[in-house]
Structure formats: C-alpha cells, structure tokens
Amino acid sequence: MNARRWLLRTLVLAGLLVLGGCASWDYDPLTIPDDFREVQTKSSQGATVSVAILTDEHARAHFGIDLGAYDLQAIWVRVENATDQRLWFLRSVLDMDFYPAGEVASLARSSIPDEDFEAARQRLRDESMRLRLEPGTITEGFVFAPKALGGRYVDVRLVEDAYAAELKRRRAEAQGESAPDAEVIELRFGFALPLPDGIFDYERLHPETIYGDEPLPELSREALRERLAALPCCSTNEAGDEDGDPLNIVIIGRSSDVLNALSRAGWSFTHRITFKSVGRMIGAALSDTAYPVAPVSDLFAFGRKQDFALQRARANIAERNHMRLWLAPFRHDGRQVWVGQVSRDIGIKLTPDAPTLTTHVIDPEVDQAREYLLQSLLAGGFVKAFGFVEGSRRATREAPAQNLVEDPYFSDGERLVLLLSPDPIPYAKVRSLLWQQSDAPVAEGQTAGAAARVRPIDGEPEAIAAD
C-alpha cells in the first residue's frame, strides 16, 4: 500500500468520528490521504524518506485537536531503513523549536475534555516520530512544529548510531583498514513543501507558459554575461517610463530548486494583494506585529509584474528583507534564469500610489541586502558558483539614486549572479565566475575616516587606505 493511500484511510475514519461529535483517542496505523496535496519521497544509500505536512483540516480530523489554533503544524515523516545500520533521526535539525507531544497536549488542554486528556496526551506521544530507527524497519510518526504559512523546507537528517560507528572504526583500525572505511553514515533529505491557501503568488507560477511554446535560447557563459550586463538597470512602473528598485540579483536554477533553496535559507512565500491580505497587512501595521507572508507591491520588468516574490520577515511588518523575481527569456546550462531585485525594508510610509495606501521604506544600502542573500544561500550550501556582473544602477552615498516612491539608495552597480546547486555542497567546492569584483557593502557607505578602524598589525592606521 503506497504512502498516500496508507494515510488516507486513518484520517478519513478519524474525520468521520470527529464530525460525528465523538472524537476517539484510539487510532489505526498512520496514513496520508490519496488526495493530499503534497507528499514527497527521496531515497539515498538504502534509506527512503517520505514527508508531508497536515493541513489544519487534516490535523483536526486526525487528532481531534485544532493544531492551527495554537500555531502548530503536524509534519508526517516516514523512514524506511533498508541499511544494515541503526540510524538516528535528528528531530532538532528539522525544527529547533519543535513541540514535544506533552506540550502540545498542554497547549490544547482547554479543548480536550478532562476525562479524555490523559488518553489524548498518550496518543500524541505514541504518534510522535521515533528517534531511533532500527535496520530493516519502517518507522513513521509526526513532528509538531511552529506553523509556517505558505510552506516550509523540511530537513530530514539521519545519522548512524555513534556507539555502532565507534565500534566500526575500532574494528577497521584493528584490521588495518583506512579511515574512510569507517566513516559515520550521515544522510540528508531536503523537501520544499508548499501549503497553498489560494492567495500565495507562487500558486500562479507556471514558468513553462510565460514565454509560450517556443524554446528559450541557450546562452554560453560569456554570452550570458553579456546579456545580463545589457539588461535594464532597474525595475519600472507599469508604464515602463519610471525606474524603480535596481535589478541587482540573478538566480540560475529550476523554479523548484529556487523555491527549495530560498525556503531552506529562511525565505517565505508571499501573499498576493487581495482585500484579505491588505486588511491583514493594515492590521499588522496598526498593531506593530509581524505578517511573515505579507504581499509586496508590483514592480515591472520584461513587460510584466514580478512572477513571484519572497521575503524574510523580522520582528514586525515594517522590517523585512524581500525580493522579486522575473523569468528571463533565455537559459543557461539547461536551467532557467531568474532576474530580480532584493532590498531590506526598514519602515512604512503613506503613499497614494500604492493600492494599500502604504509602502515600505528601503534601507539605502541596497548592496547589503544583496550580500545577505548571497551569505544566506552559501550558509545553506545551495550555491554552486557565484559572481558579479555590471548592469545595475551605480550611485554613491553623496549622490544617491531614487526608486518609484523616492526612497534614496546607493550601490556599486553590480548584479549578484548565483548558480544554484540542487543538493547541499560545502563552501570549499563553491566556485567564482571571475567576472567582476564587487565593492564591500559596508565600506561603500562609510566615510574616509572609517579607514582608521582598519590598520596593519604593525604600523600606523594611515597605512591602509579607505575602500
């Protein structure tokens, strides 16, 4: 019985019990519904991992508890350990802020009858994902984690039992075998799981239809550099007669890899501008709270508004890093090329030019947001190669440029170009494109006097010039 059909049976039965007004704390083997939107499976070195995130509706039907009301999600994990080693599931890698079953029960106690509480708590414990995975077994269960809107990256990490690994190492040494023969098994499985709600912009993303049926031209490395340098400096308004924020990033990879890497690095999907999202955004602004998937205003490139946007939210709605991406009409190395804009929001101001009557204020040091994107993806191991190419708008701190809402900004005028790796790779294997050398983002906003803070180990501060 496949994973989808297996989980369907139990959730349907549990749902009927809940809808019938008689929640049962007994349970059958876990299954995932056949009509479930997103079940993903990957295999490596004898281990097969399947994951899915229950919707609020599925969680209510299965557990008899409204996890969504407590900002929780149930992440289903199934591991087939066909190796000959005992493996450990590193739950904290999946989410450092996971909730143990007992805490979930305590949070939901007001919605559970007193006479059922102990049974409900025990069921949550029994259905939690086990951490020790014996060889030749299939283990499945749930991890309870803080709710992520729109989707999340699920990082499943399996490692060999340390005791067994040390025994293997010592046996190898005793037999005179080389160290690699005794390396500890570590398996990584990454899944980008969307959770659409009808108003996320990625739900309307269909890259294959943007430019019709004609295949996009394939560009060599040097032809790509020339084409990227020749692109307009900036996004525009809808009419195309006024410049907006600078087009300062290029990401090369399939749309699925782009969403995977960015969500793994902590970037969230964004809502489209609707009455519902605008109302929520205004409420978040008035209450000075976060809206992690708040919409972004439309900017234009290639004759259309952004194909999708992402953001990395901070403490409140006025503070976030956000980017817009457009599919370019050419490819490189068989992959899609995404041209975009990234900046850091540091406040909100009123404007009659936006449908929400408000707009974000960007940090004028836009190259810092560009560097932030680079470092967040490098840290996750998703960059195969990177470089910089001219073509964006160059402006200085003394003579800044302006975007459509008259926010000033300055930049070295370079575009960051990222070639994504579909699988995590160590920094030692990342390569430079050897195109342009970017300026130092912090130094370019400093005055000459700041050079005094950089000095040689032996000598006077004046011996090192300002950047």
pLDDT digits (tens, 9 = 90+) for 337-382: 999 999 988 777 666 666 555 677 788 899 989 999 999 899 889 9
CB atoms within 10 A of CB 286: 9
Cβ contact 415:391 at 8 Å:
yes
291 pLDDT above the threshold of 90: no
C-alpha dihedral, 455 to 459 to 462 to 467, nearest 10°: -40
Judge if 209 and 152 occupy the same domain: no
Which single residue is written with the structure tokens 């557990």? Answer: 63
Give the count of domains, the chain: 2
CB atoms within 10 A of CB 313: 21
Report yes or no on 287 lying in a domain.
yes
- Mean pLDDT value of segment 56-66: 89
The C-alpha atoms of residue 190 and residue 184 are separated, in whole angstroms, by 20
Half-sphere exposure of 353 (CA within 13 A, CB side): 13
3 pLDDT above the threshold of 60: no
The H or E element that residue 413 is part of is strand 411-420
Report yes or no on 158 lying in a domain.
yes
Residue-wise pLDDT for 229-246, tens only, equals 999 999 999 999 999 999
Residue 145 main-chain phi, psi, to 5 deg: -135, 160
Judge if 267 and 316 occupy the same domain: yes
Q: What is the pLDDT of residue 19?
A: 34
Beta carbons within 8 Å of 112's beta carbon, 6+ residues apart: 64, 65, 105, 120
Amino acid sitting at position 232: P
Domain range for 428 is: 201-436
- Mean pLDDT value of segment 384-393: 96
Residue-wise pLDDT for 391-412, tens only, equals 999 999 999 999 988 899 999 9
Judge if 223 and 190 occupy the same domain: no
- Mean pLDDT value of segment 274-295: 69
Judge if 133 and 210 occupy the same domain: no
Report yes or no on 462 lying in a domain.
no
Among 195, 221, 250, the domain boundary falls at 195
Residue-wise pLDDT for 128-153, tens only, equals 999 999 999 999 999 999 988 877 88
CA distances from 46 to 79, 186, 254, 366, 424 (A): 10, 12, 27, 46, 19
Report yes or no on 466 lying in a domain.
no
Report yes or no on 207 lying in a domain.
yes
Q: What is the pTM of this model?
A: 0.76
**pLDDT mean across residues, the chain:** 83
Among 152, 178, 195, the domain boundary falls at 195
Half-sphere exposure of 425 (CA within 13 A, CB side): 14
Report yes or no on 455 lying in a domain.
no
Report yes or no on 465 lying in a domain.
no
CA distances from 357 to 237, 281, 282, 361, 411 (A): 16, 11, 10, 13, 28
Report yes or no on 467 lying in a domain.
no
Return the structure tokens found at 354: 């936006």
Q: What is the pLDDT of residue 18?
A: 36
Among 134, 169, 195, the domain boundary falls at 195
Cβ contact 23:17 at 8 Å:
yes
The C-alpha atoms of residue 319 and residue 362 are separated, in whole angstroms, by 9
Q: What is the pLDDT of residue 165?
A: 76
Judge if 229 and 317 occupy the same domain: yes
Judge if 163 and 22 occupy the same domain: yes
Judge if 180 and 269 occupy the same domain: no
Judge if 346 and 385 occupy the same domain: yes
Higher pLDDT, 253 or 36: 253
Beta carbons within 8 Å of 180's beta carbon, 6+ residues apart: none
Confidence tier at 453 by pLDDT (50, 70, 90) = confident
Confidence tier at 39 by pLDDT (50, 70, 90) = confident
Judge if 206 and 157 occupy the same domain: no
Q: Which of 348, 342, 358, 256 is nearest to 299 (CA)?
A: 342
Judge if 211 and 157 occupy the same domain: no
Q: In whole angstroms, what separates CA 451 from the centre of its chain?
A: 37
Which single residue is written with the structure tokens 């964004």? Answer: 270
Q: Which of 95, 382, 97 is nearest to 265 (CA)?
A: 382
Angle between helices 366-380 and 255-264 (to 10 degrees): 90
Judge if 21 and 167 occupy the same domain: yes
Judge if 32 and 94 occupy the same domain: yes
